[in-house]
Amino acid sequence: MGIGGSRTPAVHRGARILDAISSGAATTPAALIGLLGLPKSSMADLLSTLEEVGFVARGADGDLHMGRRWSDISDPNALAHNLFRACTTPDLEGHTISLVQLFGNQVVFVDVHLGRLPLPLTPRPGQRAPAASCAGAAAILSAMTPEEAAETVSAAAAHLGLTADDVQRCLQLRHRHRRKVYESQSPQMGRQLACSVPGTGFALTLHVPDRWPEPSTLKAARALNAATNAY
């Protein structure tokens, strides 16, 4: 049974809240109430519980995002910890780096190592974004065979309500010839560089600040690729 089932109402409602927050459909209690049609008191109780167990957290501006517990569940083998440790090199110092996974035609930020350099948009663990706006999607799909890529994207098609055309558009992000580093630029996510993590179905993504010097970006790309093979 998917999250559309109602056999256990509290779990069902909690799943709908997490789905809305992670997808960016609603990031405030008021928006969640409007989107999901739940009473204010019920929403307050559910959010309080989700925050208490670490599934949801609030930013300094009061907006809701996925909590640290998300990373513990989505990355039980501490892959992110090992990769982020491998990224502690001079050329990656101060940069925001994320570990991402494909979910249908979306990318999920499994974990994020926050840097001090300013970004147009800073990703959060558990956040989802369109695959077309994330370099990590191309890196993940290009590391797979065409059959593996199709199976991976199609696996979440029913949950996300994807059409056959949606699946095909996502598969078009796959490159026939593998690269060490993949790049994307989008209004939603800014400039990104990504490398697939061999044998995992994940990608490590470097979030590049605006107007960052190109020589420094190239050095950072090489260091990112080295980290995915050295962790």
User: Which tens digit of pLDDT belongs to each residue from 49-104?
Assistant: 998 888 888 888 888 887 877 767 766 677 888 999 999 999 999 999 999 999 99
The sheet with strand 128-130 has its strands ordered as 128-130, 106-113, 96-103, 202-208, 190-197, 182-186
Return the pLDDT at 3: 45
Residues of the chain with CATH 1.10.10.10: 9-67
What distance in Å separates the CA atoms of residue 119 and residue 189, rounded to the nearest whole number? 9
Residues of the chain with CATH 3.30.450.40: 71-230
Return the pLDDT at 213: 94
User: Phi, psi (5° rounding) for residue 75?
Assistant: -135, 65
Q: What is the identity of the amino acid at 34?
A: G
Over the chain (231 residues), what is each successive 10-residue block's mean pLDDT? 55 85 83 91 90 87 81 73 93 95 95 89 88 97 97 94 97 96 92 96 94 94 95 81
Place of tokens 């809305």: 20
Domain 71-230 has CATH 3.30.200.20: no
Place of tokens 């199609």: 154
Q: What is the identity of the amino acid at 226?
A: A
- The answer to whether 13 and 38 are in contact (CB under 8 A) is yes
- The answer to whether 186 and 132 are in contact (CB under 8 A) is yes
Q: What is the identity of the amino acid at 116?
A: R
What distance in Å separates the CA atoms of residue 213 and residue 216, rounded to the nearest whole number? 5
Return the pLDDT at 2: 43
Fold topology of 9-67:
Arc Repressor Mutant, subunit A (1.10.10)
- The answer to whether 50 and 70 are in contact (CB under 8 A) is no
Q: At what angle do helices 9-23 and 40-52 cross, to 10 degrees?
A: 80
User: Per this entry, what is the length of the chain?
Assistant: 231
Return the pLDDT at 74: 66
